[in-house]
Structure 1
Amino acid sequence: MKISTPDKIIYIIRHGQTEYNRLGLVQGCGIDSDLNDVGIQQAELFFQKHGHTKFDKVYTSMLKRTHQSVKNFLDLKLEWEKLVGLNEVSWGDKEGRPLTKEDNKTYFEMIKGWRNGELHLKVPKGESPLEVAERQREALEVILSRPHEKNVLVCMHGRAMRILLCQLMRQPISKMDNYEHSNLGLYILHYRYDTHSFELQLANDRSHLEEMNVSK
């Protein structure tokens, strides 16, 4: 039986840990934070396992925590492109500060609404999943428009990754919470141009981080 070879392999990782992650603070696309020491170590361990992969291109969001997460790859002089469509969801006036009890109540009510298909909901001055999905489609169009890029590394953000994976797997965005994510967790997808379809090969893999006792 002949095994079908994918036209493109896309490795998608979430950025490494930041102090905002460690402290449980909301970052979103309005907070341009750095990796902390744990995040830097996560990035190093990911590179140790996957640095041999011959990536044709590296794509990141506009935010430096994604740039720092793939720095070892960029130091190899790989081609690199930043796409705003890969940015994290904007959490509006909730970004950069501890959440109050009222904030948490509003947030979980909104998440429940998203799961029920109310994808227009958003926090004040923030983005809805529908708005995020729209800009992601533009980014995806760019990535898929280059068939010569066979192996691609994409570094982005947790909530945005969930929305993107729903789109790649042709699932309703309301199912986004089915896709778990961790700092420097890895998804691998195979893409075929003839069927315009993705096949999930690996989900939130953290095997490269086994020596670390960090769950986020």
Structure 2
Amino acid sequence: MITLYLIRHGETDANKHGILQGQQNTLLNSNGLSQAKTLAGACQHLTINTIHSSDLARASSTAAQIAQPHQLTPKLTPLLREIGFGSLEGQHLKLMPAEKQYHLQRLYTQQINLPYADAEPLAKLESRLSQFIKHLSAESSGNHAIIGHGYSLNYLLHHLLNWPKQNMQLLELANCSVTEVIFNRQQWQLVRLNQQVNSLSSILK
């Protein structure tokens, strides 16, 4: 059996102020680092065989905290990066022009590609996430922590569970939340969803 702990990175200033990050290499803020340390304390009770992380700093810093109690070295990969929002990255969500907000909303609610040449197509996102899972599933068993980003982890979760991706907007993965899925009897199954960091210590034991 394979167990995946899907973990969103800790808070950044961009998260706090409603700025779209995408593949920008933003850092954890002080609260995000505190979240990651709290999560690491809760996760020390788990058996984790490997830790895989996006190579963007906010994710890799979160992974480093989780890795310490387990004496593991996170495996960093660009396959787990956030979706690329292109020219929308770095913009305040509420201050975007109406047209850009409309295109972003269509991405979230209808899975329609952003109409910008520098934005990542959904087919490319799905391809790289599928490539990562294919590599991981080559192992017959194990417990793996996967540290990534809000949109791409949400997309991966819906992909694994065959949930309609048009419903992705109904779920916002919290910073340093844990979602657990297992591969059992030839299918992925949900164990816990979006368990937030302030309630993890009494549960992940």
TM class by smaller structure:
0.7 to 0.9
TM value normalised by structure 2: 0.87
Aligned-pair identity (%)? 21
Distance 1:104 1:15, change over 3 A: farther
Superimposed CA distance per residue, residues 122-154 of structure 1 (whole angstroms, 9 cap, x where no aligned partner): 444111322211111111111111224x11100
Match of residue 209 from structure 1: 198
TM-score between the two structures when normalised by the length of structure 1: 0.83
- Contact kept in structure 1, 2:63 and 2:74, CA below 8 Å: no
In structure 2, what residue type is equivalent to 1:145?
Answer: A
Code of the residue aligned with 1:198 in structure 2: it is W
Supply the distance in 1 between the matched residues of 2:30 and 2:147 (Cα, whole angstroms).
Answer: 18
Which residue, out of 120, 132, 138, partners 1:139? 132
Aligned to 2:4: 10
Aligned position for 2:20 = 26
Q: Tell me which amino acid in the other structure corresponds to 2:198.
A: L
1:125-204 to structure 2, matched below 5 A, reads 125-148=118-141, 150-192=142-184, 194-195=185-186, 197-204=187-194
The correspondence of residues 48-127 of structure 1 with structure 2, limited to 5 A, is 48-75=41-68, 76-99=70-93, 101-112=95-106, 115-116=109-110, 118-127=111-120
**DSSP 3-state at the match of 2:190:** strand
In 2 relative to 1, CA 103–210 (structure 1 residues): closer, same or farther, beyond 3 Å?
farther
Is 98-107 or 75-84 further displaced after alignment?
Answer: 98-107
Letter in structure 2 aligned against 1:201: V
Judge which range, 16-25 or 97-106, deviates more.
Answer: 97-106
Paired residues, number: 199
| CA shift digits 1:76-120 (9 cap, x unpaired) | 43143122221001111111233575535423344236534x533
Q: CA-atom RMSD, angstroms?
A: 2.2
Separation in structure 2 between the aligned mates of residue 158 and residue 22 of structure 1, nearest angstrom: 14
SS of the residue aligned with 2:6?
A: strand
For 1:73 and 1:131, locate their aligned partners in 2 and report how far apart those are by CA, in whole Å.
Answer: 29
Matches within 5 A, 1:38-53: 38-53=31-46
Structure 1 unpaired stretches of 5+ = 1-6, 212-216
